[in-house]
Amino acid sequence: MTSEPTLQMSETLSHEATATARGRPVLAIHGGAGTLLRSAMSPEAAAQYTNALEGILRAGQLQLQRGDSALDVVVQAVRALEECELFNAGRGAVYTAAGTHELDACVMAGDGLRAGAVAGLRTTRNPVLAARAVLEHSEHVMFVGPAADLFAARQGLEQVPHGWFGTPQRLQQLRLAQALAAGVVLDHDGQAAVINTDNAPLDEGQKFGTVGAVALDDAGHLAAATSTGGMTNKQAGRVGDTPLIGAGCYANDATVAISCTGTGEPFMRALAAHDVSTLMAYAGLPLAEAAERVVMQTLPALGGQGGLIAIAASGEVCMPFNTEGMYRGFARVGEAPVVAIYKEAQP
């Protein structure tokens, strides 16, 4: 695994490295962004997260090497993130104010702008699989609530008891948020006064949830997938940017594949993912400049915090974020995966 100091602030590869890697299949993933706890974190705790990310990247590398489609790769990567309790999606999803779970997901294929999305799932084990089923087996693009779970069940996707998604740590985060009268807070808690109950590298009281993946395959196709458990203590029924095409997830073979994580409402108002693609397509900006403008200028002006991962049609990888850290990594076929949590200073 490549050490973190090799990654710069925007996570954009150098011009020389990008030029030599154009067109090579590549996968990038994220597991949320937020405030650092570097001083209070043990190396063992950091390793738990980086090892999880690296394992998912290595599995995706093997898929890309054998010629699997970008859509197959991002869906499998996000499914693995949903199965990992460390992240806020699927198993380990956060609780609403009502003590329930409501899960959202979106997938998009860059060829033909094909997309599928679901919101408010309560019994479908892997929301990303439900989103893909919508893409492949429905004339529609999005299903919500009980109808989305019913659609998934009819497609043969595994259903689980609603309580399967919860963990003791997530329940504790809800209780802390409610006890402090903190109101709606993102992902695990969102308030500095709330302790980091999981001893995680990113402060679980200052972390923005969501997981995602983007990929470029050997046929030149792009794909993106995003999944989330939402916000701790959110009002039941609230839907964020994750399942909204162009807000939290977007893929277009002509430009870029993007998955976002952060404060959902500003990402929705800015159509953040699509805005990066638009800046590339109509303003002629390179990926790094387009992504930096959206993440560092457009979103903060709306109160938006978080970041995104992106892969351009050329194969360039970019991972900007305006928080102190973001769980992230990428892997090209034939190269060692690169995984990081912290934002390193500019050279």
Give the number of other CB atoms < 10 A from CB of residue 245: 21
Q: Is the Cβ–Cβ distance between 229 and 92 less than 8 Å? A: yes
Q: Is 210 a catalytic residue?
A: yes
Whole-angstrom distance, CA of residue 314 vs CA of residue 302: 30
Whole-angstrom distance, CA of residue 209 vs CA of residue 256: 22
Catalytic residue, candidates 123, 124, 197, 210: 210
* Phi–psi pair at 176, nearest 5 degrees: -65, -45
Whole-angstrom distance, CA of residue 178 vs CA of residue 180: 5
Strand partners, 107: 116, 225
Q: How many CA within 13 A on the CB side of residue 237?
A: 0
Query: Roughly how many angstroms between the first and final C-alpha of the chain, as a whole number?
Result: 21
**List of residues 6+ apart from 264 with CB closer than 8 A:** 231, 240, 241, 242, 247, 248
**Strand 114-121 to 142-144 pairing:** parallel
**List of residues 6+ apart from 335 with CB closer than 8 A:** none
Whole-angstrom distance, CA of residue 119 vs CA of residue 186: 17
Which residue numbers are catalytic? Answer: 210
